[in-house]
Amino acid sequence: MLVLGVAYVGAARKQESWPPGRTAAFLAGLATIVLVTCSFLGTYDTTLFWVRATQNTVLLMVTPLLLALGAPITLLMRTAPPRVAQWLRHHGRSPFAKFLTFPLTVTVVLIAPFLVIYLTPLYELALDHAVVGGLVRLLVVVAGFLYFYSRVGLDPTPRGGSHLVSMWISFTEVVFDGALGLVLWLGPLLAPAHYATAHPGWGPDPRTDQVIGAGVLWIGGDVAGLPFVGALFVRWVRDDEKRAKQVDERLDEETESGDAPVSGLWWQNDPELAERFRRK
């Protein structure tokens, strides 16, 4: 994390007008990784269910959003050698890249990790084997970043993002979080043999521990998604203001040049609405 942070700051300082907010967001994203893997959350992530649930929730919903708000792909393309930047541009427009950023694909990418982790034997494997646990954490961060990268829209993406589609995906994620939370709350204990051996003799009993963890995944996941919804609304408003300004400038230019329509309703003269509502 230190290497990534130093590299990002060094690249950002080479830019004349790189927004400091992006740097702060990216460094905060790296800090969350350090927090959940090196603090008590990292110490007890194989001992208590709710600790592991907190760790996974942060790595899927908080860390990737902060990293995406740092626009690292844009910064990389500006500072990378020309050959590397050209490679990124070429593959960034490829059919595979378009498939990865398709709304249905990123919806599955956002929802599937927790379903696979908690409803398959992968969860117990991640607890018992450090390498598997590390790979699972890495994949969770990558999955979350792919989603937020494609929906936040600060970095160049192979297909345009719709704010309304992003809202529907967020709603779908809320539904699946609730369903998973209920399954873990009312269902059987996960990895009972592991927790029976690892339980420290203090703290909640295994059933209460899993109930708390189910609440973290359910409620914590929804709360962690609120900043993204707020960021979506901000970008939505800014995009509308930008589009309105562009339309006004175009109409002013048409008026000055004498090409402005002299009759018709306002929506008949708007380029987009006229095409949508034109008479058949």
- HEC readout, 145-186: HHHHHHHHCCCCCCCCCCHHHHHHHHHHHHHHHHHHHHHHHH
pLDDT of residue 128 exceeding 80, the answer is: yes
State the amino acid at position 183 in one-letter form.
V
- Collapse the DSSP code of 240 into the 3-class scheme (helix H, G, I; strand E, B; otherwise coil) and give the result: helix
- Per-residue pLDDT, averaged over 67-96, amounts to 85
- pTM tops 0.85, yes or no: no
pLDDT for position 182: 87
- Per mean pLDDT, which of 138-152, 158-172, 241-255, 256-270 is the most reliable? 138-152
| Structure confidence at residue 24 as a pLDDT band (50, 70, 90) | very high
Q: Distance between CA 206 and CA 99 in Å, rounded? A: 41
- pLDDT at residue 101, rounded to an integer: 79
The chain-wide mean pLDDT, for the chain, equals 82
CB atoms within 10 A of CB 124: 16
Residue bearing the bigger pLDDT, 198 or 248 = 198
Residue with structure tokens 């910064």? 75
As a whole number of Å, the end-to-end CA separation of the chain is: 59
Q: What is the model's pLDDT at position 53?
A: 94
| Residue 17 dihedral angles phi and psi, to the nearest 5° | -135, 50
Least confident of 7-16, 204-213, 241-250: 241-250
**The Cα angle at residue 206 between residues 200 and 212, in degrees rounded to 5:** 110
CA pair distance 230, 236, nearest whole angstrom: 10
CA 245 to chain centre: 29
Q: Are 22 and 71 in contact (CB under 8 A)?
A: yes
Contact criterion met (CB below 8 Å) for 59 and 140: yes
Domain edges within the chain: 2-277
Three-class DSSP category at 223: helix
The per-residue pLDDT for 176 is 77
Among 75, 69, 66, 70, residue whose Cα is nearest residue 29: 66
- The pLDDT of residue 278: 56
Distance CA 82, CA 84 (A): 5
